[in-house]
Amino acid sequence: MEEVNHKETPLMTKLFKARKKSETETVKDSNPASKIAVYILLTIGSFTMLIPFLWMISTALKSPAEAVAMPPVWIPQIFRIENFARAFEVAPFGRYFLNSVLITSISTLGELLTTILAAFAFAKMKFYGKNLLFTILIATMMVPGELLIIPNYLTISKLNLINTYSAMILPYLASVFSVFMLKQNFESVPNELYYAAKVDGTSDFKFLWMIMVPLSKSAIVAVAILKIIGSWNSFMWPLIVTNERLLRPLPVGLQAFTTEAGTQYELLMAASTIVIAPMIIIYLFLQRYIIMGVAKSGLKG
Amino acid sequence: MQVQFKDVTMSYGDKEVLEKINFTIPEGKLVSILGPSGCGKSTTLMLISGLTYPSNGQIYFGDKEVTKQDAVKRKVGMVFQNYALYPHLTILENIMFPLKMEKMPKNKRKERALELARLVQIEEQVDKKPKQLSGGQQQRVAIARALAKEPSILLMDEPLSNLDARLRIEMREEIRRIQQETGVTTVFVTHDQEEALSISDEVMVLNEGAIQQNSDPITLYHKPKNRFVAQFLGTPVINTIKVADHPELLNRLRLSEIMKPEVQSIGIRAENIKVTTIESEALLSGIVNHVSRVGKDTTVYIEVNGHSLVATNLGVIPEEGTMIHITADIEEIHLFNFNGKVIELEAVK
């Protein structure tokens, strides 16, 4: 999870900046000095967040000597673009990439499916023991993820799933946090809409897919983004449940650069750049939904 | 379609919202359910719609019992206070939605939706999203959507409450027009007596889960069956005078000796109070407390023995602080017994 946070923060900063900007724009009469101060603070903040990124990209272009040089070299003398090509030779990154795409997409789709159904049940349906069940679910959020590694491993191994894609996907097909988040969003959809749809002849299931889901698009995309990033960056679990090199996703694959002889930092950073590039692209494409999700908290019928 | 409730009871947990209510909504009529909030009027509407089922009793649509049938089987159309349009669909798609659920072919669907858009006069807005429309227009769309599948009955739950005063009057005329053009049996829930009285063929007054009176608006106003109905309808509120406070009333009303002990209070509407110069003919005498003139209306507040009476239709406007004698025609005086029921005039004579 730590890794996830690292890679997320710079983008969060950008997002925060974007929101902040629109806020200051609406407050036209705020004085220029405070505006400048705000911008300076934000610039410093976002620059701090960007440093690891810049360092990664710069190291990816360095020679092996420059990568470990002290004092640090910020701008390499020659940009060694070939580092990227060499990184690909060290390990089967094409295969890793496909593995990552497969695992991420299936677990994201799976989680969305379970989350949407569960959130709808908790938000709009009436059944016996609903509140108790939801309380228990929420309580599980208090269990630290690390604690689940051993029981999950035992379950997976009893199911004979070690060394399969299923091992990496199955435990992540549901998320209580996502259910919680989406439930809140579903609850903001007025009941009249549900009744109207019922009168118009929809079943619960049709109402969910034809009305509820399109209306909660922003929240669903936000859940999906969190899931995609988390799944794409997951390292520990895939490492534990796979022995077969070819089954592993990208973050585990990055280990290939750490050998008994030491770590090839410039190649590791080149590969890392490639690993996180898709996330940045996805994030940039979908971030407007997140902003929408934040801005459009209430839904008028 | 004619709707009939037979001994329908509805309770949520221990709380009984409706208690053994019986009524018939005649086919092709516009019937209002009127009552204060929490009286069970929305529950009644939900029961007609089939979105909720009664705890006890039977519901009939025409001759068919539909007690256990859902909203789709009953084929009801419904309009909500907050419009409940699907925000992500265009106006046309909103109107077509129930038809889509009925699996009507697409071109037929569109044709029907456009026809309805014309009926409710929003045909120029059909490509917009609900948010781009004003409240009144959104309500028109909601009506069109409810009418799309040619419902057996059209149900409206406080459809005008979210509109401003001017628009409300315009829309209620529209609802009346659309109802008469289509001839669809309509049930209209409201807490606004003026709304109910102005557009309905029949008004059903509900209070505390029981039907107080079910009749046409004019009868309802002039011949209320009990004190609740008398007080709920009409602005200003009907003047009620307790006999205990004015024992002389019974003699002045010339009631028979048998009737006298039964009368608990009398009610006189503000517009029926008249001034008389002959004290012996007067029902009551009082001091003019305050005269308020708003536009063409003059309201006179008369203090009688510490109670305030309101009169709106006095021929000659008295001056503040003077003593006046008031009376009313015997036909305009409502007599209430100790249960709050009206004592019929025929019985009095």
Query: Each residue of B211-255: pLDDT tens digit?
Result: 899 999 999 888 888 899 998 888 888 998 888 888 878 778 777
Contact state of A199 with B102 under an 8 Å Cβ cutoff: no
- Residue B348's pLDDT is what? 45
> In whole angstroms, what is the distance from residue A185 CA to residue A294 CA?
11
The answer to whether B98 contacts A211, with C-beta atoms less than 8 Å apart, is no
> Given a cut of 90, is residue A139 above it in pLDDT?
yes
Report CB contact under 8 Å: A299, B87. yes
pLDDT of residue A293: 60
* B293 bridge partner residues: B298
Instruction: Give the C-alpha separation, B128 to B93, whole Å.
Output: 10
Mean pLDDT of all residues in A272-298: 75
Label residue A8 by pLDDT band (50, 70, 90). very low
Within an 8 Å CB–CB cutoff, is residue A126 touching chain B?
A: no
Contact B84 A193 (CB under 8 A): yes
Residue of B70, B83, B101 lying closest to A200 (CB–CB): B101
pLDDT of residue B155: 92
| B334 has a pLDDT exceeding 80 | yes
Mind telling me how many Å the CA of B319 is from chain A's nearest CA?
Answer: 53
DSSP state of A235: -
Across the interface, which of B84, B86, B101 has its CB nearest the CB of A201?
A: B101
Distance from CA of B141 to the nearest CA of A (A): 13
Q: What's the mean per-residue pLDDT of chain A?
A: 83
Backbone angles phi, psi at B5, to 5 degrees: -105, 130
Q: Does the pLDDT of residue B320 top 70, yes or no?
A: yes
Work out whether the CA dihedral B79, B84, B86, B90 comes out positive or negative.
positive
Nearest to B71 among A199, A206, A301 (CB): A199
B71, pLDDT greater than 60: yes
CA A147 to CA A151: how far, in whole Å? 8
Q: Which residue has the higher pLDDT, A70 or A228?
A: A228
Residue B42 pLDDT exceeds 90: no
Instruction: Tell whether A300 lies on the interface with B, counting CB pairs under 8 A.
Output: yes
pTM score above 0.80: no
For residue B21, the distance in angstroms to the closest alpha carbon of chain A comes to 24
How confident is residue B346, by pLDDT bands cut at 50, 70 and 90? Answer: low
- Does the beta carbon of A192 lie under 8 angstroms from any beta carbon of chain B? yes
Which of A40-44, B92-96, B232-236, B253-257 is the least confident region?
A: B253-257
∠ CA B208-B8-B205, rounded to 5° = 40
Residue A179: band (very low, low, confident or very high) from pLDDT cuts 50, 70, 90: very high
Among the partner residues A190, A199, A300, nearest to B76 by beta-carbon distance? A199
The Cβ-side half-sphere exposure at B129, using a 13 Å CA radius, reads 7
- Residue A120 pLDDT > 90: yes
| A296 pLDDT above the threshold of 70 | no
> Which tokens in the block code for residue A159?
């199911």
The chain A residue lying nearest B95, using CA atoms, is A200
When the pLDDT of each residue in chain B is averaged and rounded to a whole number, the result is 87
Distance from the Cα of B163 to chain A's closest Cα (Å) equals 14
pLDDT at A298: 42
Q: Which residue of B has its CA nearest to A299?
A: B87
Q: A9 — contact with chain B (CB < 8 Å)?
A: no
Distance from CA of B199 to the nearest CA of A (A): 24
pLDDT at B339 over 90: no
Q: What is the pLDDT of residue A41?
A: 95
| CB < 8 Å to A214, chain B | 88
State the average pLDDT over residues A82-98: 85
DSSP alpha helices (H): ranges in chain B?
A: 41-49, 71-74, 91-101, 106-119, 135-148, 165-182, 193-199, 217-222, 227-232, 248-252, 345-348
pLDDT at res. B15? 84
Enter the CATH code of domain A2-295. 1.10.3720.10
Q: Does A213 touch chain B (CB under 8 A)?
A: no
Decide if B87 and A300 are in contact by the 8 Å CB cutoff.
Answer: yes
Of B76, B82, B102, the CB nearest to A301: B82
Q: Find out whether B147 and B154 touch, Cβ atoms under 8 Å.
A: yes
Residue A73 has pLDDT above 70, yes or no: yes
Q: How confident is the model at residue A82 (pLDDT cuts 50, 70, 90)?
A: confident
At residue B327 the predicted structure's pLDDT band, cuts being 50, 70 and 90, is: confident
Residue-wise pLDDT for B77-93, tens only, equals 999 888 889 999 999 99
Quick one: pLDDT band at residue A30, thresholds 50, 70, 90?
Answer: low
What pLDDT does B1 receive? Answer: 83
Compare all CA atoms of chain B with the CA of A191 and give the residue at the minimum distance: B84
Among A111-120, A238-247, A252-261, which stretch is predicted with the lowest mean pLDDT? A252-261
The pLDDT of residue A301 is above 50: no
Question: What band does A9 get if pLDDT is binned at 50, 70 and 90?
Answer: very low
Q: What are residue B306's phi and psi, to 5 degrees?
A: 90, -10
pLDDT score of A6: 42
Long-range contacts of B113-121 (CB under 8 A, 24+ apart): B113/B144, B113/B148, B116/B144, B116/B145, B116/B147, B116/B148, B117/B91, B117/B92, B117/B144, B119/B144, B119/B147, B119/B178, B119/B181, B119/B182, B120/B144, B120/B174, B120/B178, B121/B174
Q: What is the CA radius of gyration of chain A?
A: 23
Closest chain B C-alpha to A170 CA, distance in angstroms: 34
Domain positions in chain A are 2-295
Sorted by where each starts, the structural domains of chain B and their CATH numbers stand as: 3-226 (3.40.50.300), 235-348 (2.40.50.140)
Nearest CA in chain B to A211: B86
Would you give the distance in Å from CA B118 to the centre of its chain?
A: 29
Range ranked top by mean pLDDT from A255-259, A261-265, B59-63? B59-63
Verify whether the Cβ–Cβ distance A190 to B82 is below 8 Å.
Answer: yes
**Per-residue pLDDT tens for B118-144?**
888 888 888 999 988 888 889 889 989
Set of chain A residues whose Cβ sits within 8 Å of the Cβ of B72: 198-199, 201
Determine the residue of chain A that is closest to B88 in CA distance: A215
Mean pLDDT comparison of A272-286, B175-189, B268-282, B308-322, highest-scoring range:
B175-189
The answer on pLDDT for A262 being more than 80 is no
Whether chain B has a CB inside 8 Å of the CB on A74: the answer is no
Of residues B89 and B259, more confidently modeled: B89
Parallel/antiparallel/unpaired status of strands B3-12 and B15-25:
antiparallel
Report how far Cα B185 is from the mean position of its chain's Cα atoms. Answer: 16
Taking one residue from A and the other from B, the number of pairs with CB-CB distance under 8 angstroms is 61
Question: How would residue A176 be classed by pLDDT, with cut points 50, 70 and 90?
Answer: very high
Q: What angle do CA A98, A101, A104 make, to 5 degrees?
A: 145
- Over range B44-73, report the average pLDDT: 89
- Name the interface residues of B facing A (CB cutoff 8 Å): 49, 51, 70-72, 76-78, 80-88, 97-98, 101-102, 131, 145-146, 149
Q: What CA–CA distance (Å, rounded) separates A238 from A226?
A: 18
The pair of three-digit structure tokens given for residue A262, joined into one six-digit string: 């030491």
Question: If DSSP codes are grouped into helix, strand and coil, which group holds residue A173?
Answer: coil
On chain A, the residues whose CB falls within 8 A of the CB of B145 are 196, 200
pLDDT at A4 (0 to 100): 40
Average pLDDT over residues B173-202: 90
Please report, for residues A8, A155, A248, B166, the alpha-carbon distance to residue A1 in angstroms, rounded to integers and kept in the order given: 11, 22, 18, 59
8 A C-beta contact, residue A3 and residue A251: yes
Lookup: tokens for A84: 């990227």
Query: What is the pLDDT at residue A46?
Result: 93
The arrangement of strands across the sheet holding B274-276 comes to B274-276, B323-327, B284-294, B297-304, B307-311
Interface touch B98/A200, C-beta < 8 Å = yes
Band of residue B163 on the pLDDT scale cut at 50, 70, 90: confident
Residue A5's pLDDT band (cuts 50, 70, 90): very low
How many alpha carbons lie under 13 Å from residue B171 in its C-beta half-sphere?
25
Nearest CB to B86; choose among A193, A195, A300:
A193
Helix axes B106-119, B165-182, angle to 10 degrees: 120
The confidence score (pLDDT) of residue B340 equals 83
Residue B93: the pLDDT is 92
- Please tell me whether residue B164 adopts helix, strand or coil conformation: coil
Q: What is the pLDDT of residue B262?
A: 84
Question: How close are the terminal C-alpha atoms of chain B, in Å?
Answer: 42
